[in-house]
Structure 1
Amino acid sequence: MAGSPPIFTSVRGTFHRAVDPRFREFAISGSRSAGRYSRPEEPTLYLSSSVDGVEAAMVAHRDARSAALEILEIEVDGSGIFDLRDAAALEAAGIDRADAVAPWQEIVSSGGVPSSWRVRDRLLQAGANGLIDPSRTSPGLWHLVLFRWNETGAPTVRPAES
């Protein structure tokens, strides 16, 4: 994409993740089930930029999650992040934001491939380590979705020190 605007950004700071307390030690292992941006066999770390963001994200997952969740702070430092809020980056990467935010759960349940998985595939081919996903339920809030972490060339992730 020579000559085009940069499509990646960096992130650094404290993010938040809701976990079942029984699995606290695996908080940064990533999700192991199908998600908006992940097939079941694709570990993906879903984080939110704020506690409010976690709560907004959980609205769509209340039935599938334990009622006893705790919100952990996770430190992230990394680059290669695609920002779905950036119109110039979307255009440069040839990504339609509508594909990223389209409904996915019923499509997966019926054995289909949601358009958001194809967004992930395209970003991986472009060299992305993850993406910034704007909240669909609470405008202004956003989430960080990591495809790779804690490996060479990928963002570093660790639980925040208490």
Structure 2
Amino acid sequence: MTQHLIPVSGVFYRLVFSTTRNAPITAAKTPQGRFHYNGQSALYMSPTKEWAAKALKVYVRPDDPPREFISLNVTGAKILDLRKASVREAFQIRLPDIRAHWREETANGSPGSSWKVSDRARELQADGLFYPSRTEQARWNLVLFRWNKAGAPSVEYTD
């Protein structure tokens, strides 16, 4: 099954609060997200600054502190590429589950459908996944489940 995990290294972007710009690289602050729940680690990134801003748009509030982009160099990641239909089919992962509105589902007392997707990727020993945007077919993002520890990919600030 590991033949479906692709090696990934490169620069990715996040839009963070300016006050945390040089803080240690940590998991998402919320206890639940699109691809994490119940204390699972997740680090969400995008291949461009524009896509990082679009991915975060739903979470930005008018009274938030100022934000700025950071660039992160990811090395040594083994990623499940869910942009590819052939990979989704090989692991019986449905595109609607990837794109599900997890917040609406959990508000109704159900687990997020996208959590089944990340659970499956974790079972396959993936460090993370490339996943298509919910709103734009051409757009995609990266989520890592583990980083900066033994046997995991490295993630470092580039500037």
> TM-score, normalized by length of structure 2?
0.89
Aligned residue among 26, 31, 34 for 2:28:
31
The 1:110/1:66 distance shift into structure 2, 3 A limit, reads farther
Residues 19-52 of structure 1: CA deviation (Å, up to 9, x unaligned): 1112223362120311100115112100010011
2:83, 2:131 within 8 Å by CA — same for their partners in 1?
yes
Q: Which residue of 2 aligns with 1:119?
A: 117
What runs of 5+ residues in structure 2 fail to find an aligned partner?
none
2:99, 2:133 within 8 Å by CA — same for their partners in 1?
no
Identity %: 35
Aligned mates of 1:89, 1:150 — CA distance in 2: 26
Q: Which residue of 2 aligns with 1:70?
A: 68
Q: Which amino acid aligns with 1:75?
A: N
Residues 110-159 of structure 1: CA deviation (Å, up to 9, x unaligned): 44311111111111111111000122233322211000111222211001
Would you identify which runs of 4 or more consecutive aligned residues in structure 1 move more than 4 Å? none
Q: Which residue of 2 aligns with 1:105?
A: 103
SS state at 1:13 partner = strand
Aligned mates of 2:63, 2:83 — CA distance in 1: 28
2:97, 2:117 within 8 Å by CA — same for their partners in 1?
yes
Q: Which residue of 1 aligns with 2:4?
A: 7
The 1:26/1:86 distance shift into structure 2, 3 A limit, reads same
After superposition, the CA RMSD in angstroms is 2.0
SS state at 1:26 partner = coil
Q: Which amino acid aligns with 2:88?
A: L
Matched, 1:19 2:16: yes
1:12, 1:75 within 8 Å by CA — same for their partners in 2?
yes
Please state how far the C-alpha of 1:67 moved relative to its aligned partner: 4.9
Q: Which amino acid aligns with 1:97?
A: L
> TM-score, normalized by length of structure 1?
0.87
What runs of 5+ residues in structure 1 fail to find an aligned partner?
none
The 1:58/1:64 distance shift into structure 2, 3 A limit, reads farther
Q: Which residue of 2 aligns with 1:158?
A: 156
